[in-house]
Chains A and B, each alone.
Chain A
């Protein structure tokens, strides 16, 4: 396949970036999108040009590194896949492909297609953890958890923190990410110790870091490589509103 690539190039975080056009030949239909990017970079290095910087690590859809908006969709066309799982079969010979980084104020561009997602880590540090006893490991299944609850907690825990939800959201809202992280603990007895404080602290941190608010459009859910559902956002809302009332009641005492 012959392809035309329009890729966002930005040398430094504060520098003005622009789209560069590249032509690439001999792209196999069996390549993944990242392998195609690798072959482009090999070509650029041979031509003594600066290769395109992009994030990648596991290349099996678990690490959540490969953040690219491809032809207007985070992680490219297709549902429930990351960029590394995107196959070049999704494109036709002669196609023009536009590749951009996540464009989110809270995720500043480091270089080209790499963005700084440490805002997610700050949200996690604000409440995305459980208290655990030190000492020997407890017996397996010593805490009884109903199957439906554990299944739903597991669905939420599938979040890989890639940030596609924020990139897809018209408001750059991180609600789906925070909802998944709150849900996975709120559903399980192990998460009850921190209780409502978790939802409160994480949402306050999210607001502070400059993410937008949720308007329930559903773009996040559709673009999530792990298929995390909007119902987790409803659970986060529930937890947060309850925390708000508890706080108000405590203040009045």
Chain B
């Protein structure tokens, strides 16, 4: 089995499995976040957030999720580094070819998954510091509990988006990076798992675009919605 994981396809297999698992998490995350849009009192979102932090199933899944993310990052770094070493820069420094024209033959997104992934990680660290860290560890005056012990996560989230425009901009950029990453990532995962063929290639391509629009667009929409609503 160790041979399998060390092989080029085995490494990509791990990337696909962890990637698809992270997408499942993102879909749940977006579903919870969408309550911000549907209920302006914030009660729905607070209850959902409370459920997500206290539910025993989520408590089990949380470390698995963290492990999935770390494996996805670690393997991506190893694969990217190894691939950089394997391509030749035959006597001409860092540039492999004097001229290379591949804009018509492949998409920019597909060639720069690692750069997009790095952008997402930078965003993720700021995002966790903004909300997750405060809710889980340090606490925040805005999070004041109600009579049922439910924290006011809605206040924390909306006040951040209303008070600081740069946070909204950062979240939109993060969401776009995520959308672009998934635009190639989703179909690529299915291709690597070997599920693609003439017919299913088109279906996976379409599904990938659909998922990237839903997640990228959805996560960009929520901070914009909160900000614009406060301005009108």
Which residues of A approach B to under 8 Å, CB–CB? 6, 10, 16-19, 69, 71-73, 98, 100-101, 103-107, 109, 168-173, 175, 203-204, 206-207, 210-219, 222-223, 229-231, 233-241, 244, 247-248, 251
Q: Which one of B1, B88, B100, B188 contacts A105 once the chains associate, using CB atoms below 8 Å? A: B88
**Complex Cα spacing A241 to B187, Å:** 18
Contact A238 B194 (CB under 8 A): yes
B4 and A244 contact, CB distance less than 8 A? yes
Min CB–CB distance A135 → chain B (angstroms): 37
A98 adjacent to B99 (CB under 8 Å): yes
Which residue on B lies nearest to A233, using beta carbons?
Answer: B191
Is B21's beta carbon under 8 Å from chain A?
A: no
State in angstroms the CA–CA spacing of A10 and B1 once bound together.
43
Q: How far apart are A111's CB and chain B's nearest CB, in angstroms? A: 13
Contact: A170 with B201, CB < 8 Å? no
B13: Cβ under 8 A from any A Cβ: yes
The CA of A101 and the CA of B107, in the complex, are separated in Å by: 24
CB nearest to A243 among chain B residues: B4
With contacts A231-B196, A241-B193 known, what are 11 further pairs, Cβ within 8 A? A19-B98, A72-B97, A207-B8, A210-B86, A213-B8, A216-B192, A219-B106, A239-B194, A240-B194, A241-B9, A244-B4
A-B contact pairs, 13 of them (CB 8 A): A17-B90, A72-B99, A106-B86, A170-B111, A172-B83, A172-B88, A217-B107, A223-B105, A231-B196, A233-B191, A244-B3, A247-B1, A247-B4
In the A-B complex, the 10 residue pairs with the smallest Cβ-Cβ separation, listed nearest first, are A238-B194, A222-B105, A72-B99, A237-B194, A213-B8, A72-B101, A244-B4, A234-B196, A171-B83, A217-B106
- State the interface size on chain B (CB cutoff 8 A): 46
Interface assignment of B87: CB less than 8 Å from any CB of chain A: yes
Inter-chain contact total with CB atoms closer than 8 Å: 160
B11 within 8 A of A: yes
Q: Which residues of B contact A251 (CB under 8 A)?
A: 1
Q: Is the CB of A218 within 8 A of B194?
A: no
Instruction: Check A219–B105 contact: CB distance below 8 A.
Output: yes
Contact residues of B between 69 and 98, Cβ < 8 Å to A: 79, 82-83, 85-91, 96-98
B97 touches A218 (CB 8 A): no
CA distance A19 to B1 in the complex (A): 47
CB distance from B11 to the nearest CB of A (A): 6
Q: Which of B191-222 contact A (CB under 8 A)?
A: 191-198, 201
Interface pair B97/A103, CB less than 8 Å apart: yes
A-facing mask of B89-128, CB < 8 A → 1, else 0?
Answer: 1110000111111101111001101000000000000000
* Interface residue B10 (Cβ < 8 Å from any Cβ of A): yes
Question: Whole-angstrom distance between the alpha carbons of A227 and B197 in the complex?
Answer: 15
In the bound complex, CA of A98 to CA of B99 (Å): 7
Q: In the complex the two chains form, what is the Cα distance from A244 to B12 in whole Å?
A: 13
B7 interface residue per 8 A CB criterion: yes
* Most chain B CB neighbours (cut-off 10 Å) among A203, A215, A219: A215
In the complex, A222→B105 CA distance in Å?
A: 5
Contacts of B1 in A (CB 8 A): 244, 247-248, 251
Among residues of B, the one whose C-beta sits closest to the C-beta of A15 is B91
Query: Which of B8, B79, B96 has the most chain A CB within a 10 Å cutoff?
Result: B8
Counting CB contacts under 8 A, is B184 at the interface?
A: yes
